[in-house]
Amino acid sequence: MYLNHITEAIGNTPLVKLNKVTDGLAATILAKVEYFNPGNSVKDRMAIKMIEDAEQAGLLKPGGTIIEGTSGNTGMGLALAASAKGYKCIFTLTDKQSPEKINILKAVGADVIVCPTNVAPEDPQSYYSVAKRLNQEIPNSFYPNQYDNLSNTAAHYATTGPEIWQQTEGKVTHFASGVGTGGTICGISKYLKEQNPAIKAIGLDTYGSVFKKYKETGIFDKNEIYPYKTEGIGEDILPKNVDFNLIDLFIKVTDKDGALMTRRLAKEEGLFVGWSCGTAVHGALEYAREHLTQDDVLVVLLPDHGTRYLGKIYNDDWMRAEGYLD
Ligand code: PMP
């Protein structure tokens, strides 16, 4: 019994009950642990789907180059899929990302270009603009654009959503997830709401991101945009994968609260996960404490693994320097 390629191991990740960090809560809180994917993150699912859909549409041909702006996890997923299919990869990242993420992408054969974080998306130096320019310059290249490529949402509609429905035997009442491109929450929410329209989708947002205010007021408020530290969630743009009708509400979580909960998940639950996982759990528990009863089953998605944050969240000196630890 063997797989023909590691990409065949994507999906069917475990759903694990949280027992300690939930102290005293009546509701059942279950974590969908996405680091079990071969690239150690949820993004493997959409990376392979974006590539296969592009091949079918004739947008990606043998010997082609995949160019993407990625905070790291999508790059890993794309690199795994590219190795299965013989494509080259070039990724643009912001200088906010962990050095681990950059080195991991290089290890799996990608070329990495680091761009400044604190420039507007339309600035020619931004990681969006650099990826777009390279796509125009390099022949036979494909720019998946995870923000606006609806194969991203479709991957979660086809796999993650059905898995959660089956693993909870249809008992899930709430689903919570951080929102970056929006593919994860919207694909899962669409599937779950089709099974049971009463299921609520809770989006976790960062301070410094536009989503929550936009959901509540319909206003794209540039004053909401300022630098923050949490990686992979919150945006200064409105990606096409974010369908606000599929997200019932947003909760903002501070960098510090997310970081501290990440460490608790590792210590108390044995879940050595990434920063946005702590953010998601912190926000989900805040909601659960206020709104949920013993009949509720909340599934919270944990996007990636702790190794990528060894120099930050799991480094006491860094945590102290950021003011997150005394
Ligand atoms: N957490 C991490 C660590 C991520 O890399 C991402 C992807 N940007 C997310 C959360 C958010 O997932 P999505 O893009 O599907 O909204």
What are the structural domains of the chain? 6-36+159-321 (3.40.50.1100), 43-142 (3.40.50.1100)
Say yes or no to pLDDT of 71 above 80: no
Closest CA to ligand 1's atom 5: 232
Say yes or no to pLDDT of 98 above 80: no
CB 32, CB 300: distance < 8 Å: yes
Instruction: Work out the pLDDT band at 121, boundaries 50, 70, 90.
Output: confident
| 44 CB near ligand 1 (under 6 Å) | no
Phi-psi region of 199 (alpha: psi -120 to 50; beta: other; left: phi over 0): beta
CB 46, CB 77: distance < 8 Å: yes
Determine the pLDDT at residue 96.
80
Atom of ligand 1 nearest to the CA of 274: 3
| 232 CB near ligand 1 (under 6 Å) | yes
Say yes or no to pLDDT of 101 above 90: no
| 70 CB near ligand 1 (under 6 Å) | no
The beta strands (E) that lie in 231-305 are given as 249-253, 297-302
**Reduced DSSP (H G I as helix, E B as strand, rest coil) percent helix, strand, coil of the chain, to 5:** 45, 15, 40
Determine the pLDDT at residue 100.
76
CB 236, CB 181: distance < 8 Å: no
CA 26 to chain centre: 28
For ligand 1, the distance from its centroid to the CA atom of residue 1, given in whole angstroms, is 32
Determine the pLDDT at residue 129.
94
Taking alpha carbons only, the member of 77, 63, 70 closest to residue 131 is 70
Give the pLDDT mean for 214-221: 98
Give the pLDDT mean for 280-289: 98
| 274 CB near ligand 1 (under 6 Å) | yes
Give the pLDDT mean for 186-200: 98
Return mean pLDDT, the chain.
96
Residue owning tokens 């404490």: 289
For ligand 1, the distance from its centroid to the CA atom of residue 177, given in whole angstroms, is 9
CA–CA separation, 71 vs 230, rounded Å? 11
Residue burial 221-235, b: 16+ Cβ < 10 Å; e: rest: eeebbeebbbbbbbb
CA–CA separation, 56 vs 79, rounded Å? 19
Token pair recorded at residue 151: 């194969």
The region of weakest confidence among 39-53, 91-105, 148-162, 202-216 is 91-105
| 182 CB near ligand 1 (under 6 Å) | yes
Say yes or no to pLDDT of 152 above 90: yes
Residue 152: in which H helix or E strand, if any? helix 151-155
Closest CA to ligand 1's atom 11: 180
CA–CA separation, 140 vs 145, rounded Å? 16
Atom of ligand 1 nearest to the CA of 182: 16
Atom of ligand 1 nearest to the CA of 242: 16
Token pair recorded at residue 38: 């071969």
Query: From the CB of residue 217, how many other CB atoms can be counted at a distance below 10 Å?
Result: 9
Give the pLDDT mean for 178-205: 98
Which residues are marked as active site?
A: 43
| 89 phi, psi to nearest 5 deg | -130, 135
Say yes or no to pLDDT of 36 above 90: yes
Determine the pLDDT at residue 35.
98
Query: From the CB of residue 254, how many other CB atoms can be counted at a distance below 10 Å?
Result: 17
The structure's pTM equals: 0.95
Determine the pLDDT at residue 326.
86
Say yes or no to pLDDT of 195 above 90: yes
Give the pLDDT mean for 199-213: 98
Which one of 181, 204, 279, 308 would you pick to mutate in the ligand 1 pocket, going by the greatest count of ligand atoms within 8 A of its CB? 181
| 258 phi, psi to nearest 5 deg | -65, -45
CB 279, CB 153: distance < 8 Å: no
